[in-house]
Amino acid sequence: MQIQISPGGSQTIYRQIVDQIRRAVAADKVAIGDSVPSVRQLAKDLVVNPNTVAKAYAELVRDGVLESQLGRGYFVARRKNIYTKAERLRRLDDVLDSVVSEALALDFASEEVVQRLVERMEALSPRER
């Protein structure tokens, strides 16, 4: 379970941690029940504050990706949908709108955007869906 952050990036540190773990789980690079690095260990490795890691892990627990076992650590949870269809669409639309805005700002044609998205999605979905 390798995690890397780029402190200079536009994304916040805890966001980068969340995303990477989500992708690792989605790509089956870690199995259900596997442990992820302890809060303190990861904080030490990334040279960030433990609270930052804890915040990232807390979000992953909230979204059902990880489970916490007090005193033992965090583990990859069995995948389950916890949000209603409407809520899931609402959240998806939020980020899609930012894509549309950015595409307009950069004068990309729709086809370019879609094609680029397809490329980036396929790149990390080796598991069966």
Q: Report d(CA 25, CA 56) in Å as an integer.
A: 15
Q: Report d(CA 40, CA 52) in Å as an integer.
A: 10
126 binds a second copy (CB under 8 A): no
Which one among 34, 40, 44, 97 touches a second copy, defined by CB under 8 A?
A: 97
Q: Are 25 and 18 in contact (CB under 8 A)?
A: no
The one of a second copy, DNA, none whose footprint includes residue 31, by CB under 5 to 8 A per kind, is none
Tokens 């650590």 correspond to what residue? 73
Q: Report d(CA 21, CA 59) in Å as an integer.
A: 11
Which one among 21, 25, 39, 76 touches DNA, defined by CB under 7 A?
A: 39
Listed ranges 50-58, 87-95, 99-107, 121-129: which one lies at the site for DNA (CB under 7 A): 50-58
> Which residues are paired to 74 by β-bridges?
68
Helices 13-26/50-62 angle, 10° precision = 50
Using the minimum distance from each CB to DNA, give the nearer residue, 1 or 118. Answer: 1
Q: Is the dihedral of CA 65, 69, 71, 75 positive or negative?
A: negative
Question: For binding to DNA (CB under 7 A), which residues are involved?
Answer: 12-15, 38-41, 48-52, 54-55, 57-58, 68-74
Question: For binding to a second copy (CB under 8 A), which residues are involved?
Answer: 7-8, 10, 12, 18-19, 22-23, 26, 33, 62-63, 65, 67-72, 75, 77, 79-84, 86-89, 91-110, 113-114, 116-118, 120-122, 124-125, 129
